[in-house]
């Protein structure tokens, strides 16, 4: 089932509270009694907890191991050459692929084992980019994900692969 979400306009969680919760051992993800992600949790709620308010990526749809999101490149996303920063791009690959994994019902968002990003073309200030992440396989211990980042015109600007350790 694919869910279309409307971005939250606000959240009660701020980055300092999320950080404090992580330091005290409280996880920032909605878990059921058995420690797995509650399948009834809406992807918008998961998104807000993975990346609290202020995260510029808008989730358009998510479900069945996929996540489609978008971002408009702003000044704070640029490198010294005025194009989309590679480190920021890698973070987007990490976050959006994690959201895709969390829609598989596999539970835990996992821990990155390997993250690779190939940069194919630049994105500039004001460009709308689409991020399409899909789960290739979610096994008992490892999950394999891939991400394509394209300009609105369809030009491929980056391709990512992400391997995550997931607890069973």
Q: In this structure, are strands 58-63 and 66-72 parallel, antiparallel, or unpaired?
A: antiparallel
User: Is the pTM here over 0.85, yes or no?
Assistant: no
Distance from C-alpha of 108 to C-alpha of 83, rounded to nearest angstrom: 34
Q: To which residue do tokens 């009694």 refer?
A: 33
Average pLDDT over residues 68-92: 95
pLDDT tens digits for range 95-136:
999 999 999 986 678 999 999 999 999 999 999 999 999 999
Distance from C-alpha of 91 to C-alpha of 82, rounded to nearest angstrom: 18
What pLDDT sits at residue 12?
Answer: 36
| 77 Cβ neighbours under 8 A, 6+ residues apart | 56, 71, 84, 85, 88
pLDDT, greater one: 18 or 58? 58
* Domain definitions of the chain by residue range: 3-165
pLDDT averaged over the chain? 78
Dihedral over Cα of 118, 121, 125, 128: its sign: negative
CATH fold of the domain at 3-165: Thiol Ester Dehydrase; Chain A (3.10.129)
What pLDDT sits at residue 97?
Answer: 96
């Amino acid at each position: 089932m694919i869910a279309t979400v409307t971005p939250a306009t606000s959240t009660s969680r701020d980055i300092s509270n999320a950080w404090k919760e992580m330091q005290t051992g409280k996880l920032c993800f909605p878990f059921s009694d058995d420690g797995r992600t509650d399948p009834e949790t809406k992807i918008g709620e998961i998104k807000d907890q993975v990346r609290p308010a202020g995260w510029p990526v808008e989730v358009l749809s998510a479900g069945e191991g996929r996540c489609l999101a978008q971002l408009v490149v702003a000044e704070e996303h640029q490198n010294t050459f005025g194009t989309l920063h590679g480190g920021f791009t890698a973070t987007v690959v990490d976050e959006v692929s994690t959201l895709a994994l969390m829609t598989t019902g596999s539970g835990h968002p996992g821990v990155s084992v390997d993250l690779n990003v190939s940069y194919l073309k630049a994105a500039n200030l004001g460009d709308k980019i689409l991020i399409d992440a899909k789960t290739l396989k979610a096994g008992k211990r490892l999950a394999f994900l891939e991400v394509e980042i394209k300009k609105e015109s369809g030009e491929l600007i980056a391709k990512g692969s992400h391997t995550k350790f997931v607890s069973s």
